[in-house]
């Protein structure tokens, strides 16, 4: 009976043709799913008995891949396999298209993570990543998979999807031979999908299209397949429909990785060259480096040399990530692993650097290494001035983990001592601020984000300036250049008008618009980065009801009519409120700031003018009227000259007060104005 039932199940499962896959989202709702993972699972679940009817060999040959069998195989993942049986791949996708869920399922199916240890978003370790549903810190994992009776070693490198971390993503892709392109079957191709695909194509990766979430009622796999073919130009005849959440189609994905992704080249005899694709700081062991061996082999105890930073260390520990760290004696060409060598700073082992042997150095380093350059700056000040040492220590600890974070001390007359910090982009800035507040219990005030301007001086010198207070005097500067980005917005056709209006308002220069399908368009603009660091993304989402997505790349510097807008209170310039703005926007920004300050600064015993100035020219002004004592209260009748005498005496006193009086701007006023600056700019 068991034998007949089993052959029936096998026959049913073998009908899995491409035509059937296209209608998969209908089948997913029925009890008889044609896909392999849940076959034995469903028998167990519904029949309450287990049918063991195939040997290990038969299981490997047919499409059934038993999770228990996978768990046994997964425990042997430290065993070496030939280079031809290694597959290095990554998963690229837009935010919320199911990348982390798919990674979880692959780990579970191959027995890499035991069921009792499994949790959602297994590779996302930080609470921040889980809350926001994004990948911030890159992870890697080694899996063992049996295909046609042969063991294969699959190295998954999980990459962050956001544009701020595009350099890290490019180094991760350089460590792979193939990529899974995960596209939501209901959402379709999004902006970051495109950007990451282009990065993968630049690295000559084999791309396997995967349609995720086909079990959703709104899934349209046929439309999305057409979209991928038209927009990206990939052949989707072998696209794999799957549902990572339900576990549908996972075995097909694993089989496709083995069959379609090429193995790494066998270069174990060449001098060692290994590409660093990530590193982090461990308080007990120093910096832990994640790398992919391109040429040669590396053993525990080897003296290694970092070619970009010119540092050498002894490799105290070498191992693989599965996904926890497991020690091994050596790694050879094609393998992915980690090493610990008592390195004290992440800056010594930067992403993209090449590791080689100290005694037998490689002739050239691997291409593509770049220093991370901050694009967005802002000031961080502790609310309580006593927390300044704690803020400095916290930033130094964060910098151990994040070589892209730059900071220098800054003093402000309004907010005291703080730091001017540089970030890769807006998401990077938000993450650092949130981590400082959460992990180090700091209360922070942040100034409006600004960008790095280039000032061409009259003596042919070029000065980079991220802080308005450091801008050279008008007589010394010839021109100011600002960073410009190329932005691509993907939107349904109903919102094209409002998004074009948004880009035009932000000084955008229209470049191109094309319809990628009947209902979706791609709009390309060149936009100053300064206009984007405010609420551009929020505006994009609200104007398109959440349907539009965007991607931007830095293209260079461009000369522009920029001026420094100063705020003067009672004739004294207030440096923390100075900003660099475009001449066309100076009046509206100045008007908004002076009006807000008038509401927030308490009235004094004398009249206080609040002025927005460009150089010595006042462009917007408000004034706080003085608190006056009614000196005429005691006069009831009498000559007018008596009243004039009293008023003149009062005016002289007010004038004397104004000359020596000092206006203290309260902290709340600064915080409110900084918030307003973020909105206005």
Question: 584 among the known binding-site residues?
Answer: no
Question: 155 among the known binding-site residues?
Answer: no
The CA distance from 150 to 238, in Å, is: 23
H/E segment holding residue 167: helix 166-174
Beta strand 178-184 pairing with 206-212: parallel
Question: 214 among the known binding-site residues?
Answer: yes
DSSP classification of residue 95: T
**What is the three-state SS of 280-296?**
EEECCCEEEEEEEEEEC
Record the tokens describing residue 59, joined without a space: 């299981």
3-state secondary structure (DSSP) of residue 478: strand
The CA distance from 354 to 292, in Å, is: 10
Peptide bond into 323 cis (omega under 30): yes
State the alpha helices, DSSP H only, in 203-334: 221-231, 250-260
> To 5 degrees, how large is the angle CA 284–CA 290–CA 295?
135
DSSP classification of residue 663: P
The CA distance from 45 to 471, in Å, is: 70
- Of 434, 284, 287, 258, which Cα lies nearest the Cα of 347? 287
Contact between 511 and 525 (Cβ < 8 Å): yes
The CA distance from 391 to 373, in Å, is: 22
The CA distance from 210 to 93, in Å, is: 10
Question: 329 among the known binding-site residues?
Answer: no
Question: 100 among the known binding-site residues?
Answer: yes
The CA distance from 61 to 105, in Å, is: 21
Question: 93 among the known binding-site residues?
Answer: yes
Strand-pairing partners, residue 409, are 419
Neighbours of 368 (CB within 10 A): 15
Question: 164 among the known binding-site residues?
Answer: no
Give the contacts of 194 (CB within 8 A, at least 6 positions apart): 231, 232, 488, 490, 551
Question: 161 among the known binding-site residues?
Answer: yes
Question: 158 among the known binding-site residues?
Answer: yes
- Of 506, 598, 531, 613, which Cα lies nearest the Cα of 564? 613
Question: 620 among the known binding-site residues?
Answer: no
Question: 640 among the known binding-site residues?
Answer: no
Question: 95 among the known binding-site residues?
Answer: yes
Question: 215 among the known binding-site residues?
Answer: yes
Q: Which residues are annotated as a binding site?
A: 93-100, 158-162, 212-215
Q: Which residues are annotated as a binding site for GTP?
A: 93-100, 158-162, 212-215
């Amino acid at each position: 009976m068991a034998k007949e039932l089993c052959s029936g199940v096998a026959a049913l499962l073998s009908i899995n043709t491409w035509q059937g896959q296209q209608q998969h989202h209908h089948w997913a709702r029925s009890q008889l799913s044609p896909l392999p993972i849940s076959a034995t699972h469903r028998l167990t679940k519904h029949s309450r008995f287990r049918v063991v009817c195939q040997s290990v060999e038969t299981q490997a040959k047919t499409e059934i891949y038993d999770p228990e069998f996978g768990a046994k195989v997964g425990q042997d993942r430290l065993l070496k396999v030939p280079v031809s049986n290694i597959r290095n791949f990554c998963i690229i996708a837009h935010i919320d298209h199911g990348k982390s869920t798919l990674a979880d399922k692959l780990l579970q199916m191959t027995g890499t993570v035991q069921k009792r240890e499994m949790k959602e978003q297994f590779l996302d370790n930080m609470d921040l990543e889980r809350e926001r549903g994004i990948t911030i810190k890159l992870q890697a994992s080694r899996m063992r998979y049996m295909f046609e009776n042969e063991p294969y070693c699959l190295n998954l490198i999980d990459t962050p999807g956001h544009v701020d971390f595009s350099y890290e993503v490019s180094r991760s892709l350089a460590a792979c031979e193939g990529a899974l392109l995960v596209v939501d079957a209901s959402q379709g191709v999004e902006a970051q999908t495109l950007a990451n695909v282009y990065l993968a194509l630049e690295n000559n990766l084999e791309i396997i299209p995967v349609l995720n979430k086909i079990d959703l009622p709104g899934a349209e796999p046929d439309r999305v397949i057409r979209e991928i073919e038209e927009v990206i130009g990939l052949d989707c005849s072998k696209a794999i429909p799957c549902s990572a959440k339900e576990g549908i189609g996972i075995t097909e994905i694993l089989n496709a990785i083995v069959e379609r992704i090429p193995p790494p080249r066998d270069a174990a005899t060449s001098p060692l060259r290994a590409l660093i694709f990530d590193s982090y700081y461990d308080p007990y062991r120093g910096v832990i480096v994640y790398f992919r061996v391109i040429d040669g082999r590396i053993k525990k105890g080897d003296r290694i040399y970092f070619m970009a930073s010119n540092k050498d260390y002894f490799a105290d520990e070498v191992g693989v990530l599965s996904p926890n760290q497991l020690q091994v004696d050596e790694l050879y060409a094609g393998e992915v692993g980690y090493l610990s060598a008592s390195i004290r700073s992440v800056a010594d082992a930067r992403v993209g650097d090449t590791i080689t042997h100290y005694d037998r150095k490689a002739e050239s380093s691997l291409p593509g290494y770049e220093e991370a350059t901050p694009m967005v700056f802002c000031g961080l000040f502790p609310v309580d001035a006593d927390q300044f040492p704690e803020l400095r220590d916290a930033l130094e600890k964060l910098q151990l983990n994040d070589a892209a974070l730059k900071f220098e001390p800054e003093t402000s007359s309004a907010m005291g001592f703080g730091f001017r910090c540089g970030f890769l982009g807006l998401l990077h800035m938000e993450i650092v601020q949130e981590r400082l507040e959460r992990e180090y219990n700091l209360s922070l005030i942040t100034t409006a984000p600004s960008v790095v301007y280039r000032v061409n001086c009259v003596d042919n010198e070029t000065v980079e300036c991220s802080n308005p207070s450091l801008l050279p005097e008008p007589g010394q500067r010839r021109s100011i250049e600002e960073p410009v980005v190329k932005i691509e917005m993907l939107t349904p056709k109903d919102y094209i008008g409002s998004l074009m209006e948004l880009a035009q308002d932000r000084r955008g220069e229209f470049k191109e618009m094309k319809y990628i399908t009947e209902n979706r368009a791609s709009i390309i603009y060149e936009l100053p980065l300064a206009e984007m660091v405010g609420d551009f993304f929020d505006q994009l989402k609200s104007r398109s009801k959440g349907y539009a997505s965007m991607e931007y790349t830095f293209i260079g510097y461009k000369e522009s009519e920029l001026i420094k807008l100063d705020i003067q209170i009672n004739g004294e310039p207030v440096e923390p409120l100075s900003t660099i703005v475009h001449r066309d926007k100076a009046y509206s920004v100045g008007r908004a700031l002076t009006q807000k300050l008038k509401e927030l600064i308490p009235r004094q015993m004398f009249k206080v003018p609040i002025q927005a100035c460009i150089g010595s020219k006042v462009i917007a002004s408000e004034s706080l009227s003085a608190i006056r004592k009614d000196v005429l209260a005691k006069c009831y009748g009498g000559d007018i000259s008596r009243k004039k005498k009293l008023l003149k005496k009062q005016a002289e006193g007010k004038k004397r007060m104004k000359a020596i009086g000092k206006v203290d701007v309260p902290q709340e006023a600064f915080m409110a104005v900084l918030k307003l600056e973020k909105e206005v700019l």
